[in-house]
A = this chain, B = another copy of it.
């Protein structure tokens, strides 16, 4: 329906400018020229609206990353990885409130519905595809490929292993997971203000920091 889209658009704008905590159904209703009770015909609750925005944000981030990555030659695994990392960070800087919504503190009592799972996995999927190509091309660190590992860790990473499709040693999967965590941790730290008084924020300083992180992540997997 038309109105549903209008509500979503207004909500998106409110989220981007004020952030999720101050997103109010009444304000959106006011803006669209209807009563607060009227929007409840289209939105089940505030949490419901939040879910729309969460899915929306995941998809926006996923699309931005995929688009950027697709612009790099398939053989250039390093370039694809670096481009993806930068796209993620750039999207986050451009959409800080959206980032906080999906990667920040969970709302107590709120349980993410199933329809958020697929959008949430777009970036991990992208990183996974890059990893798989690196493995296929034999460009992953030898010591990692051959390493035997705690069986508990094996089972812990079973869901990830299956998602990858091809057989990848657990040590490699774990290293990829660490890169994934490191990437999102670094972006969150920067956005959530943990670098205040710790890292310089002059022109280019944060970029340089992040770029070196990317290089180190590549090193850790062994892609060279």
**Copies of the chain in the assembly:** 2
Query: How many residues on chain A are close to B (CB under 8 Å)?
Result: 59
Which parts of A57-112 form the interface with B (CB within 8 Å)? 97, 100-101, 103-109, 112
A194, chain B: closest CB distance, angstroms: 7
Q: When the two chains form their complex, are residues A153 and B208 in contact, meaning their CB atoms are under 8 A apart?
A: yes
Which parts of A110-151 form the interface with B (CB within 8 Å)? 112, 117, 121, 124, 149-150
Give the residue name and chain of the B residue nearest to A117 (CB).
B197
Instruction: List residues of chain B with CB within 8 A of the CB of A105.
Output: 20, 100-101, 104-105, 192
Report Cα–Cα, A208/B209, bound state, in Å: 30
Report Cα–Cα, A53/B150, bound state, in Å: 39
CB of A218 within 8 Å of the partner chain: no
- Tell me the A residues contacting B by CB distance below 8 Å: 18-22, 97, 100-101, 103-109, 112, 117, 121, 124, 149-150, 152-153, 155-160, 174-175, 177-178, 181-182, 184-186, 188-189, 192-194, 196-200, 202, 204-209, 212-213, 216, 220
